[in-house]
Amino acid sequence: MLVDSRVRGWLDVPHAERPERLTRTYQLFERAGVLDVLTRVPAREARVAELELAHTASHIEAVRAASARGGLEWAGPEARTSAGTWTAARLAVGGLLEAVDHVVAAELDNAFVCCRPPGHHASADQAMGFCLFNAVAVAARYLQGRVAIVDWDVHHGNGTQEIFYADPSVLFVSLHQDDLYPKGFGTLEQRGAGSTVNVPLPAGTGDDGYRYAFEQVVAPALRRFRPDFILVSAGQDAAASDTHGRMSVTTEGFRAMASETKLLAEELCGGRVVVFLEGGYSLDHLPLCNLAIVEALAGLTPSWERDPLELDVPTVLGEAAKQAVDAAVLAAGL
């Protein structure tokens, strides 16, 4: 986990993507005692040459210049900059690269990167949807091998898809709410060079639907691709109490996805997996989901058996979710 107080004050305006997403997560981690058993790695600012692995020079300069002007500005659709943006956005990317370096060097088994802003809507030359630089895309290029990206944010990772659409060396698997945001992205027909696998899911899919999607699509797609490294765009906005989606996933759904990803990494690439926080805007649920993910990655005893929020969610695999997953299996030729 990476914690850096330099990003705490950035973009502290009434908005969903706010500093409390991280400070509340940190407080919960502290109270649960997990900070005592995790290795904490300081973030660093990504260099411009590293950002250029996935972004155009003009996009990088536009974000830098907007940040230097200091006021609140729109950098793209639903993406804003302010005085601290240039530092925070480079710390989020550099934090992920630092975690990747530690895992490649076998100094850490795996890592969870808790930074902001998120990145998966940012394309090569466009900020979008709270995202300025696509940290996971930069990290995939930085790794220079066969990289699998699993994106379970409730929104489609259109920026990541676009960056690797013609690149067969990077597998992009996205589980997201069908036709949510951005409109027109994440369909079964969008397959790129064959290494884009979209799994659009119906509202209310729930833990069992996500488990089924992992078993039927994510695991076979990763086994077919045989990655050297796995990156996760982990958006916890599929959580049942998150107003940005309607997917009814509980802490146990996120714990299961993190556990399954860890097992796949152990089977396929020496356990090398780094999980990067993307979305997740429920200040009550996000910290709990983040803790469940970290407990799974670190092999810690779960702090609870059932989601502490005790929300009313589906408890079986629904027919609509099953059909959506089965259609994705067919579309991906799995």
Active site residues: 121
Helices 251-269 and 206-213 cross at an angle (nearest 10°) of 10
For the chain, the C-alpha Rg in angstroms (whole number) is: 18
User: Is the Cβ of residue 152 or residue 225 nearer to Zn ion in the bound state?
Assistant: 152
- What is the closest distance, in whole angstroms, from the C-beta atom of residue 95 to Zn ion in the complex? 19
Distance in angstroms between the alpha carbons of the first and the last residue of the chain: 34
Cα–Cα distance measured from residue 221 to residue 295, given in angstroms and rounded to the nearest whole number: 25
User: Is the Cβ of residue 50 or residue 242 nearer to Zn ion in the bound state?
Assistant: 242
Cα–Cα distance measured from residue 168 to residue 147, given in angstroms and rounded to the nearest whole number: 10
Size of the chain in residues? 334
Which residues in this chain contact Zn ion in the complex, by CB under 5 A?
153, 155, 235, 237, 279
User: Is the Cβ of residue 244 or residue 262 nearer to Zn ion in the bound state?
Assistant: 244
Cα–Cα distance measured from residue 115 to residue 133, given in angstroms and rounded to the nearest whole number: 12
- Which residue lies nearest Zn ion, judged by its C-beta? 279
Query: Cβ of 316: how many Cβ atoms within 10 Å?
Result: 10
User: Is the Cβ of residue 98 or residue 134 nearer to Zn ion in the bound state?
Assistant: 134
Token pair belonging to 12: 């502290």
- Which residues are paired to 128 by β-bridges? 131
Token pair belonging to 204: 């209310």
- What is the closest distance, in whole angstroms, from the C-beta atom of residue 76 to Zn ion in the complex? 15
- What is the closest distance, in whole angstroms, from the C-beta atom of residue 136 to Zn ion in the complex? 13
Residues contacting residue 6 through CB under 8 Å, at least 6 positions apart: 84, 87, 88, 91
Token pair belonging to 7: 């990003």
- What is the closest distance, in whole angstroms, from the C-beta atom of residue 73 to Zn ion in the complex? 22
Q: Token match 């659009």: residue?
A: 200
Cα–Cα distance measured from residue 279 to residue 16, given in angstroms and rounded to the nearest whole number: 10
User: Is the Cβ of residue 146 or residue 156 nearer to Zn ion in the bound state?
Assistant: 156
- What is the closest distance, in whole angstroms, from the C-beta atom of residue 324 to Zn ion in the complex? 18
User: Is the Cβ of residue 181 or residue 229 nearer to Zn ion in the bound state?
Assistant: 181
Q: What are phi and psi of 96, to 5 degrees?
A: -65, -40
- What is the closest distance, in whole angstroms, from the C-beta atom of residue 157 to Zn ion in the complex? 9
Cβ contact 255:300 at 8 Å: no
